[in-house]
Structure 1
Amino acid sequence: MAPSTANGSLAGAKLHGRAFYESIGSPKFVLAPMVDQSEFAWRMLTRSFLTPAENAKLLAYTPMLHARLYEETAKYRESHFEATRPPESHPGATSPAPSLEPSVPFLDGNPALDRPLFVQFCANDPEHLLGAARLVAPYCDAVDLNLGCPQGIARRGHYGAFLQEDQELIYNLINTLHKNLPVPVTAKIRILETKEDTLAYAKNVLAAGASIITVHGRRREQKGHMTGLADWEYLRYLRENLPKETVIFANGNVLQHGDLEMCLEATGADAVMSAEGNLSDPGIFAEPPAPGQEGREYWRGIDGKGGWRIDAVFRRYMDIIHRHAFQREPPTRRPLFVVGDDEGWLVEDGKEGGQEEEGPARKKRKRDGGGKNEKCTSPNVIGMRPHLFHLMRHLISIHTDIRDALARCHVGDIPTIEKILDMVERRVAQGLIEYERTGGESIKTPEPEPKVEGDLAAESAGTGDVGGRDHDPESSVATVKKCKRPWWVAQPIVRPLPKEALANGSISLSKKEKRKQEEAAAAAAHADGHTEVDAIDQRQSSSSVEGIKDTTANMGKPAATTSGLVCG
């Protein structure tokens, strides 16, 4: 591998394409850009599960940043990207733009901690994008343009996936950076309606000067309950029809570690990116330890299935927050519990460390120091609660008192989060003890299956292949079974597929789409000599996601996932 500088240049010349990719170590795994969720602390947590050699093969992205705001607003820069140590005092909103010369490295893009790193921006103006990109260029290996965000805010702001109809603007945005930025430019897109249109889109991005193209195998409308499956065949089509030297990253359908190699093999991509799979399990890129080598952080059950323990991941995360966000040593901690250890600490003082005393909440917070919300402008601190809710989704669905304690916790209230960690450690210890005592029977509870239509439900329930997605693309049942672990293990959140969401009432067809499907079904029935009942059945079983409305916004039950956390 050719030696490179920290910003992807070789001997003073900016590298491009595969030469650039090789200069940063040809990373095989990629931590996706996620809105407010791929910040420094989470990147460090993800990297912490990897050996030094494995870390060289991991590329990480920052959260998506707004180019115009980043260029124009000092407060926005300070609260979203901490590349250098902050000054003792901040002059205020009218402070001048920071120097373009690197200063003392701090967190984001620190060569000793956080490389390789791409900084992602959303933008619709080439000059604003260039201005913002120049500010971060000294602290990253490349600047990425977000062309995949499907959320409503992207529609209103005219960026992300809502630029895909304006291919000229996309070309100008990328080309402006390619010609004027000292580091390479990359881009992340979504697939279009046809493979041919997607290929033309990718060619435009590459012709503009993108060194790497990331392709999310879902269309713009595939979000929330309509997320469905990413189409890896589109990515394989791009691989086979773009020049061989093109560097392609694949994104979509990566829930567990085993999916990484499956995606690479199916798509032919150079690297695979994980977003929500990483939020549920930041150890997703790490090789699981061999049987008998689990240690205290990894759990493996009687059936041989395992994963990283939630209390272990939570601990690692808190230690990173202490060391990096607050620049102090974390509290001294007891070894993580494994069955056979002394159990006396579980009943110390007759209560869990996270349980609160009687009395007014305000006075309690003042007494225990929890009322001091520390450094609340840091993106690493602001992101803590959303991360913990996602990470512990399966645990808090059972232990609702932990969920409630986390919901009541204020941003920056580190003492309270430490108490919640203590609650989690105690519950996990109790779960492990009960699992061993019952020979694994303690976790064998009936698993509710996604609600699907008629024959599909029977077919899903009867399948013996837990790979599932290949053989039953309309059901998530097999994937749920494949991914299921005890609640104390980090594991993915499996979304219901669109047809299931339609069946269980999470989404509904718009009047326009209902009418359209009724007319199409009636016409088809008339042509084939079918009855009106056949036409109705055909309409109800349609897998189209066009014109579907999400009904959960007006319902009391929570949605399957917090879809807004992941962008593009």
Structure 2
Amino acid sequence: MPKLEGYEFWEKTLGKPRFIVAPMVDQSELPWRLLSRRHKAQLCYTPMLHASVFIRNHRYRKDSLASCEEDSPLIVQFCANDPEVFVEAAMLAQDHCVAVDLNLGCPQSIAKRGHYGAFLQDEWELISDMVSLAHKKLSVPVTCKIRIFPSVEKTVLFAQMLEKAGCQVLTVHGRTREMKGPMTGLADWSVIKAVKDAVKIPVVANGNIQSLKDVEQCIEETGVDGVMSAEGNLHNPALFEGTNPFFWDISYEYFTLVKAYPCALSAVRAHLFKLWHHSLLIHIDLRMELARAKSAEECEDICRRLQVRCEEEAAKHDPTPALGDDRQDPTATLGNSKQDLSARLGDDKQDPAPALGEGKLPHWLCQPYFRPTPAETEANRAEKNRKRPLAVIMEDQNTEGLSKSQLKKRVRNPTITFQSKAKKYEKCAKCANPRGMKCVFSECRACCKHTAHRAVADCPGHNLLFKSKQLKRLQWEAAQREKGLLTDETPTSEASNPDTRANNAIKEGTSQQLDSG
């Protein structure tokens, strides 16, 4: 059967998915994919897999490809920087998926160190070789996930290059590789629209997807074929349903799947921290217990206790539409996330507080988490520095000898103390080696052994006891003379050596027997 390509693959194999769960490192494991699918996700990816490790490590390969009949369609994603390695790994995975994806968008420091993901953006020839070789050799289509460039034109050319190389579906994350962590900011849908207009293959949009209304707005503004969510899905797996369920309902459903399809505890804890994020900000003690949990059963017990506390809080509040049986569209209460972010970024002059103020969803419901914008992050830092500038700290306290990082810590916490650095070893009096700290001659062991032997002296620090051993020998010889067992004519070396004396006695006894015979 010939390999399907482009929109034919998108429609016949994938079924024209609109709701897609992003590939997330260590958080797209089988139980989470199944949970997302049961709440209307139509396409899922495996976590990003390291191609070279996938080839050489059988257990890693087996765990990464864990799936079931319900987990379909599934795309396996790899990171790689070598065409042959990428294709070899993809050929091992092609019988377990409907397509293989090349990650060209990971912005994390580990991707920078490994030279893959978004840090391959400038090596177009290498990327083209990887995609074209995979397109020729694989029995399944190859897809790509990218981040945008600061320039719209360059992003469009990059997308066209991938299409020409053989990419059959292109996912575009509307942020640059520098937009991460505190500097994440708002994804630019206009660049995604430009890419969609420039290529003839299906395009998926990623970024700013926190609610079902965001999905609809993104498709309307960009004209993309599908929408992918990562962080929004982690905080609310029912995002594509347009509902905000109680976090414990989703958690118990997830625990059931974990029992049926066991996975790493680190992945379980990571998901629970996201699902319970808003409640754990209040119940900090349970947050600490979750961090120390050693099994999924312990996590489930913590969930029950957190549920009890939240139900008690809910009983004290007036019932709201979100808590009733007839649930309204939660985005009507919460406000459109893209508009909220735009307002917080300064695009909209209105105060964003009303959208997230009195109408905010109760913390026991699954809901989006809005990162502080870059402007807010810088403002918070400036406020901290304004309250306690570095110059004031240096005047108030002794900062001599502190490193740059220690000074920054002192700015954040003026009461912090630092342990003094360990003293450097002093040199031996005779050579460049470190001297023994308890050596009586202030020398290293080799030099000390030579000095103590010549001087017939002791060095307890190096456990060299030449003087003590000589005194002990002299005392033993004196005791032997008193007993008449030792004379002045007896060689000292023979008298003081038990083995030598025994051998001499044997020889003397043997010679006496020969004489008598």
CA contact (8 A) 2:236 2:368 kept: yes
Which whole-Å deviations, capped at 9, do the CAs of 1:198-250 have from their partners, x for residues lacking one? Answer: 0100011111101000000000100001000000010111122223xx20000
- In structure 1, distance between residues paired with 2:250 and 2:167: 36
What residue in structure 1 maps to residue 240 of structure 2? 285
Give yes or no for the alignment of 1:505 onto 2:381.
yes
1:71 aligns to 2:55 (yes or no): yes
- Pairing 1:189–2:146 present: yes
Counterpart amino acid of 1:68? S
Conserved 8 A contact 2:204-2:228: yes
Match of 1:233 in 2: 190
Aligned residue identity for 1:495: R
Query: Which of 273, 290, 300 is the matching residue for 1:418?
Result: 300
CA distance in 2, matches of 1:77, 1:220: 28
Take 1:427 and 1:254, find their aligned partners in 2: how far apart are those partners?
30
The residue that corresponds to 1:37 in the other structure is 27
Aligned equivalents of 1:216, 1:552: Cα separation in 2? 35
Distance in 2 separating the partners of 1:465 and 1:282: 16
| Within-5 A mapping of 1:487-498 | 487-498=363-374
Deviations 1:273-303 (A, max 9, x none): 0000001101111143xxxxxxxxxxxxxxx
Give deviations 1:247-281, integer Å, cap 9, x for gaps: 00000011122111111111110000000000110
Determine if the alignment matches structure 1 residue 486 to structure 2 residue 423.
no
CA distance in 2, matches of 1:143, 1:507: 47
Question: Are residues 1:14 and 2:3 paired?
Answer: yes
5+ long unaligned stretches in structure 2 = 322-334, 386-407, 414-517
Tell me: CA distance 1:76–1:428, structure 2 relative to 1, closer, same or farther (3 Å).
same
**2:291 alignment counterpart:** 407
Question: What is the percentage of aligned positions where both structures have the same residue?
Answer: 40
Q: 2:204 aligns with which of 245, 249, 256?
A: 249
Distance of aligned partners of 1:508 and 1:268 in 2 relative to their CA distance in 1, 3 Å threshold: farther
Q: Any conservation in 2 of the 1:171–1:208 contact (CA below 8 Å)? A: yes
CA distance in 2, matches of 1:501, 1:143: 37
Alignment match, 2:124: 167
Partner of 1:199: 156
SS at match of 1:272: strand
Cα distance between partner residues in 2 of 1:464 and 1:323: 36
The answer as to whether partners of 1:17 and 1:211 remain within 8 angstroms in 2 is: yes
2 CA distance for matches of 1:170 and 1:133? 15
CA separation in 1, counterparts of 2:24 and 2:336?
35
Structure 2 vs 1, CA of residues 554 and 249 (structure 1 numbering), >3 Å: closer, same or farther? Answer: farther
Which residue does 1:90 correspond to in 2? none
Partners of 2:336 and 2:28 in 1: CA distance: 37
Distance across 1 between alignment mates of 2:354 and 2:37: 27
Distance in 2 separating the partners of 1:46 and 1:184: 24
Kept in 2: contact 1:484–1:491 (CA 8 A): no
Aligned with residue 120 of structure 1, among 77, 86, 90: 77
Residue deviations 1:362-421, cap 9 Å, x none? xxxxxxxxxxxxxxxx34x431001111111101000112212101112xx133122112
Query: Which of 292, 313, 316 in structure 2 is aligned with 1:434?
Result: 316
> Is 2:165 the partner of 1:208?
yes
The CA distance in 1 between the partners of 2:336 and 2:16, in whole Å, is: 38
**TM-score, length of structure 1 as denominator length:** 0.62
User: Which TM-score applies when normalising by structure 2?
Assistant: 0.68
Higher relative contact order (CA 8 A, sep 6+): 1
Q: Deviations over 1:296-339 (max 9, x none)?
A: xxxxxxxxxxx2111111111111112232xxxxxxxxxxxxxx
CA distance in 2, matches of 1:206, 1:473: 34
Q: Structure 1: which 5+ runs fail to align? A: 1-11, 83-107, 289-306, 326-377, 441-462, 510-550, 557-568
* TM alignment of 1:448-459, pairs within 5 A: none
The residue identity in structure 2 corresponding to 1:485 is L
Q: Is the Cα–Cα contact under 8 Å of residues 502 and 508 in structure 1 kept in the other structure?
A: no
Structure 2 CA distance for partners of 1:554 and 1:421, relative to 1, 3 Å: farther
Alignment of 1:133-152 (within 5 A): 133-152=90-109
Q: Quick one: which amino acid aligns to residue 50 of structure 2? A: H
Q: Conserved in 2, the CA contact under 8 Å of 1:466 and 1:478?
A: no
Q: What whole-Å deviation, never above 9, does each CA across 1:3-35 have from its counterpart, x for those lacking one?
A: xxxxxxxxx111011110001201111100011
The structure with more helix, counted as a fraction of residues: 2
Q: Structure 1 residues 184 and 480 mapped into 2: Cα distance closer, same or farther (>3 Å)?
A: farther
Q: CA-atom RMSD, angstroms?
A: 2.8
Residues 555/117 of structure 1: CA separation in 2 closer, same or farther (3 Å cut): farther
Of the three residues 248, 253, 278, the one matched with 1:394 is 278
Inter-CA distance 415–242: structure 2 relative to 1 (3 Å threshold): closer
Pair 63,508 (structure 1): closer, same or farther in 2 beyond 3 Å: farther
Does the CA contact (< 8 Å) of 2:207 and 2:228 recur in 1?
yes
> Deviations along 1:483-509, whole A, 9 cap, x unmatched?
931110011111111111111018999
Structure 1 stretches of 4+ moved >4 Å: 463-466, 506-509, 551-556
Larger Rg: 2
Residues 475, 497 of structure 1: 8 Å contact kept? no
> What is the letter of the counterpart of residue 69 of structure 1?
V
CA distance in 2, matches of 1:464, 1:127: 45
**Which residue does the alignment assign to 1:48?**
38
Contact 2:171–2:206 at 8 Å: present in 1 too?
yes
Residue 81 of structure 1, CA deviation: 2.8
The alpha-carbon deviation at position 553 of structure 1 amounts to: 13
Tell me how many residue pairs correspond in the alignment: 374
Aligned mate of 1:179, from 136, 150, 155 = 136
